Amino acid sequence: MPVIKVEMFSGRSDDKKRALAKAITDSFVEICGGKPTSVHVIFDDVAKSDWAVGGELCSDLYPDQPATAEK
């Protein structure tokens, strides 16, 4: 039954999402019980220009380098 929504900066690959979905699902089942197939993980990619911290857009705080600095 759990629905787990992950809001994060856009740019992560499907492989990273695959690995993260698997890890979150396994952790949930191990800790809280239930069947893996009842665990939904939904990724919401948010552009840095749509996420502000301390009143500043993250696109200003952490501008993307040519090759993305942050994994």
Q: Cite the active site residues.
A: 2
Site string for a copy of itself, 14-33 (x = CB under 8 A): x-xxxxxxxxxxxxx-xxxx
Asked if 64 touches a copy of itself (CB under 8 A), the answer is no
Asked if 63 touches a copy of itself (CB under 8 A), the answer is no
* Residue whose structure tokens are 């740019």: 11
Residues 47, 59 contacting (CB under 8 angstroms): yes
Closest CA to 24 of 5, 8, 11, 7: 5
- Give the single-character DSSP code of 69: S
Q: Which residues bind a copy of itself (CB under 8 A)?
A: 1-9, 12, 14, 16-28, 30-37, 39-46, 49-60, 70-71
